[in-house]
Amino acid sequence: MSNFRAPLGCSSSKLNRVCHILSVNPFWTRNFYLLIISLLGFWGLNVLKPRTNFSKLRNLDLFFTSVSATTLSSMSTIEMEILSNPQLIVVSILMFIGGEVFTSMVGLFIAQNTFNNDEHLLHHSIMFLSFIILGYLLVINLLGIAMVFLYISLVSNAHRTLKSKGLNLFTFSIFTTISSFTNCGFIPTNENMLVFNKNPGLFLVIIPFVILGNTLFPTCLRFSIWVLGKCVNKVRDYCDYLLKNTKEIGFHHLVSTRCSFCLVGTAFGFVVIQVVLFFVMEWNSKSLKGLNPYEKTIGVLFQSVNTRQAGETIVNLPAMSTVILIVITVIMYLPPYTSFPFVNDEEEQHQQQKRKRKIAKKLLSQLAYISIFVILICITERKSMKEDPLNFTPFNIVFEVISAYGNVGYTMGYNCKLRLKDGANCEDKWYGFVGRWSDAGKTILIVVMLFGRLKRYNMGWKFS
């Protein structure tokens, strides 16, 4: 479960044990962790019963759901409202312990057992960092639960919506906050956040937690350390050490000031690009029909923030323009900490150019893996592609695979009206396109979700 990249100080005795324990085969260590958690989650979902008015769920669909929650992918083969309250709690736990913030914190606590007594400052700084992340994790999630609970309690139409779905308010608040913070994207309603598109206030509550839990977590972590160093004298030495030695410590989420600003600028840029495209191409479209200008504006902002990783949605994606869908596909493919450097020094620019070329090669190599997965799925779904070509289009399959690889959860869904045969016997369902695939196709997508969750390790992604 390593969250340490191989730091420059790995050659020194001071950090040798950290590097050895936390940098040896992190891909397989994390993969083993995710598989064990997924199997335990499957057992929990299988033991607990779904809502009484639904039949027993298939084991493969339950395991798929468990993996999807653990890998923070929110790909779905079942309708969420089928799950009972205890099952929703199990999914919440899976998202929480599979989240990047939680696993990075566990890695730090493990690291504390690798130091000698003569490594006082490093040891205590790592321990202090682990407690900062623990506090960050608890405070943000508890605050989010309280805010979601309070909003739905006070806003009558949101409360009516939840009541009509038969969902417990407290469970919904916990589930939605954890899902948003971990950037999973699962919501207990079948329609995801589309059912709340008349509640822009709820979107404004959720947006900060989407950002704080993933895309800008490194920036927020550095800011938290800086604030503590300024306000608490007893920990100032530890804070200074953490802020000045990011390369030597080698913790993936602890980045330099320059990199923090790059992350903020890049994240802001991606959101602005999407918002502008939405305004230009989707303002009067069917995807935003029935919303007033304020609801549209907040909804578009919410949608744009979620495209990077979270995958919560307020629109029907198939109804959107092709240009928007292509942009979403590209953004889903990019890793969460993608950033464009802003440097002035010539030597640093040269280093950045070399680094960018290396990253470009890594991204292209990932396309080769995705291509293999797409080809395999086209083979398993070849019968459906022949008999149902309007639903099983190559683009829909590619979109689903990239969404799973990016652990986003967006889907083109399935439309019974597009079927060429037996359309009258088909019933539209509120689950993803993958829900209509064969068992072999679903199994391949499980592998894609796990592979995507671990992309940082096989890409060698790191900051300076």
Q: What is the full DSSP assignment across 256-319?
A: -HHHHHHHHHHHHHHHHHHHHHHHHHHTTSGGGTT--HHHHHHHHHHHHHHTTTT---SS-GGG
Q: Is 414 helix (H, G, I), strand (E, B) or coil?
A: coil
Residue 417's contacts (CB-CB under 8 Å, 6 or more residues apart) are: 423
Give mean pLDDT, residues 6-26: 47
CB 87 within 8 A of CB 94: no
The size of the chain, in residues, is 464
d(CA 292, CA 282): 13
Contacts of residues 24-32 at CB distance under 8 Å and 24 or more positions apart, as own/partner, are 26/1, 26/2, 26/457, 27/454, 27/457, 27/458, 29/1, 29/2, 30/1, 30/2, 30/103, 30/453, 30/454, 30/457, 31/450, 31/454
Is pLDDT at 7 greater than 80 in this prediction?
Answer: no
- pTM, entire model: 0.89
pLDDT 10s digits, 415-444? 998 888 876 678 888 999 999 999 999 999
Q: Measured in Å, how far apart are the chain's first and last C-alpha atoms?
A: 21
CB 377 within 8 A of CB 437: yes
Is pLDDT at 66 greater than 70 in this prediction?
Answer: yes
Is pLDDT at 121 greater than 90 in this prediction?
Answer: no
Identity of the residue numbered 30: R
Identity of the residue numbered 408: V
The CA-atom distances, in angstroms, between 278 and each of 58, 282, 295, 315 are 38, 5, 13, 11
Structure confidence at residue 117 as a pLDDT band (50, 70, 90)? low
Helix 59-70 vs helix 85-98: angle between axes, to the nearest 10 degrees? 40
CB 42 within 8 A of CB 23: no
Percent of the chain at pLDDT > 90 equals: 59
Report angle CA 200, 202, 207 to the nearest 5 degrees.
95
Q: What confidence score (pLDDT) does residue 252 get?
A: 83
pLDDT 10s digits, 317-328? 888 888 999 999
Determine phi and psi for 256, rounding to 5 degrees: -70, 170
d(CA 333, CA 338): 10
Q: What confidence score (pLDDT) does residue 12 get?
A: 42
Residue 45's contacts (CB-CB under 8 Å, 6 or more residues apart) are: 57, 62, 65, 66, 83, 87, 90, 91
Q: What confidence score (pLDDT) does residue 296 get?
A: 94
- What is the CB-side half-sphere exposure of residue 405 using CA atoms within 13 A? 25
Q: What confidence score (pLDDT) does residue 119 get?
A: 66
